[in-house]
Each structure stands twice: as structure tokens, then as C-alpha cells.
Structure 1
Amino acid sequence: MSKIDVVRAAMVEAMKAKDKARKDSLSMLLSALKNAQIDKRADLTEDEENAVVKKEIRQTQETYDMAPADRTDIREEAAARLAVYKEFAPEDMNVEQITEVIKGVLAELGIEKPTVADKGKIMKVLMPKVKGKADGKLVNQTLADMTK
């Protein structure tokens, strides 16, 4: 079952429960997924669906972070939306898993002791392997810790 179907079913449940805030959040997520599908002119793959969900999470987090402290209404709405969106987001890789992938890339490239100069070459091979599965900042930080 596609993520669109799962979100639509959750939205119907929210409507039946008369949970307006959850229904609105799910409606926005469903709209983003459908728009991505329309732009592609084909059904989305699981990775593409996850990318759309992560993009919505990132945008909502920015809204939350940019809202002035005295605008609690905006912050509360964004926090509620984030909670709903995270239910549909895939689990991100943790530092240990990222480290294992980095070690695999280092072996693939034949690099025993990575240096800062090797970082670009490593990232070029590494990022496609963790795209959509791990936060880019965490991957970068993990690699930076290994090159010290």
C-alpha cells in the first residue's frame, strides 16, 4: 500500500474522530504527496514518498524555528504538524549505522586512514548510499570525526 493510501486512511480516521488539527495536517501531507506524484507523472517509489515526507518535516521545523517566541499559536500548530508527519517518516540511520556505511565506502575506495583532503571523494560515494536514510548533517559530522 502506498504512503498516499496510508495517509488518506489516517485522514479518514481523523475525520471520524473529529480531530480537526490532525486531519488538517494529514490533508497537507496528502496534498504534498499527490503534487509530487503529479509532477512525476507516475506513481512515486517508496524512497520518493519518504523524501516528500522528510521535506515537509524540514519545512515545518523551519516554520517552528522561525516563528517569533510570542507567536505561540504558530509554534503550537507547527509542533502538532511535526508530530503527525513524524509518524509517516522513515527511521533515520543512527551514528553506528552511518559509521558502518562509511567503513564500507573507505574499503571500497581503498582508504585506510581518511584525511580531510579525502573527504570530498568519500562524500561523493557515500551520500548516494545514505540518501533518504540519514540526516546529511549527521553523516558529515560522523565523517568529520573519523578524519580527525
Structure 2
Amino acid sequence: MSKTELVQKEMIAAMKARDAERKESLSLLLAALKAKAKDKKEALLEAEEDAIILKEIKQAEESLAGAEKAARADLIEMNRSRIAVLSEFAPAQMEEAEIQKIIAEVLQKLGIEKPEPKDKGIIMKNLMPLVKGKADGGMVNRLVGEAMK
């Protein structure tokens, strides 16, 4: 079962349970998934579905930050709820130790023993395809920076 189908099934269950907040969050996610599939004119791959889910989570987190800055309790609660619902469908994120292991493998493959700032571009170019959708880009960037010290 694709994530799109799973989201649709969960949305129907939320409607039957009269859980308006959950239904709304799932409805927005389902709309984003279907819009991408319509643009592509074929079914989405799992990696594409995961990317859309992560994008929706990131948008909700940005909205949450704005709501917290504006001290809007109603929006804060809504966005926290949305993030919780969307996180159920998000792919599992890699731990720092796993990312560090992959960084070490990439460095070994490239033959770089002591990485320097000038090597960062080539390291990231080889590393990102291995962790895309599985790890936060900011964390990956930070860990590569730490490996250069």
C-alpha cells in the first residue's frame, strides 16, 4: 500500500471518528500528494512521497515558529497537532552515529584522510544522495563541518 493510499485510509478513519483536526491535517497532506502525482502524470515513488511528507512537516514547523513568535496559542496548538499527525507518515530519520559512519565511508571512498574546507563541496556532493530524505540536511552539514576539525 502506498503512503498516498494509507493517508487516504487514515483520513476516512478520522472522518468516521469525527476527529476534525486529524482529518484536516491528513486532507492537506493528501492534497499535496495527489497534486504532485497529477503533475507527474503517474503514481509517485515512495521516495517522492517521503519528500512531500517531509516538506509538509517543514512547512508546519516554520508556521509553528511564526506562531510562537507572534504568541498565537491557537496556531501553536494547531501546528503542533499537524506535525504530530504528519510525523506518523514520515520516513525514519537517521541518527548522528549512522550519518557519521556514512561520512567516514564517503571520505574513505574519496581518499580524503584529513578533510579540509576546500573538500566540503565534493564530500557533500557524494554524501547527500546517500542520506537524502533520511537525514536533516542541516545536521549532515554540521557533522561534515565537525569532521573537518
Q: Which TM-score bucket, shorter chain as reference? A: over 0.9
Root-mean-square deviation (Å): 0.9
Q: 2:128 matched to which residue of 1?
A: 127
Deviations 1:109-146 (A, max 9, x none): 11111112211111111111111111000001111111
SS in 2 for 1:22: helix
Deviations 1:7-43 (A, max 9, x none): 0111111111111110111111100100111111111
Given the alignment of the two structures, is residue 9 of structure 1 paired with residue 9 of structure 2, yes or no? Answer: yes
SS in 1 for 2:79: helix
CA shift, 1:70, in A, is: 2.9
Deviations 1:52-91 (A, max 9, x none): 0000000011011012443111111111101000000011
Given the alignment of the two structures, is residue 71 of structure 1 paired with residue 85 of structure 2, yes or no? Answer: no
Structure-2 separation of matches of 1:83 and 1:130: 23
Q: Which amino acid aligns with 1:6?
A: L
Number of matched pairs: 148
Q: 1:84 matched to which residue of 2?
A: 85
- 4+ runs deviating over 6 angstroms: none
Structure-2 separation of matches of 1:6 and 1:144: 38
Q: Which amino acid aligns with 1:98?
A: I
Structure-1 separation of matches of 2:22 and 2:80: 11
Given the alignment of the two structures, is residue 93 of structure 1 paired with residue 55 of structure 2, yes or no? Answer: no
Unaligned runs of 5+ in 1: none
Q: How does 1:1-148 map to 2 (within 5 A)?
A: 1-67=1-67, 68-148=69-149
What is the TM-score normalised by the length of structure 2? 0.96
Structure-1 separation of matches of 2:5 and 2:71: 37
What is the TM-score normalised by the length of structure 1? 0.97
Q: Which amino acid aligns with 1:88?
A: F
Structure-2 separation of matches of 1:70 and 1:45: 39
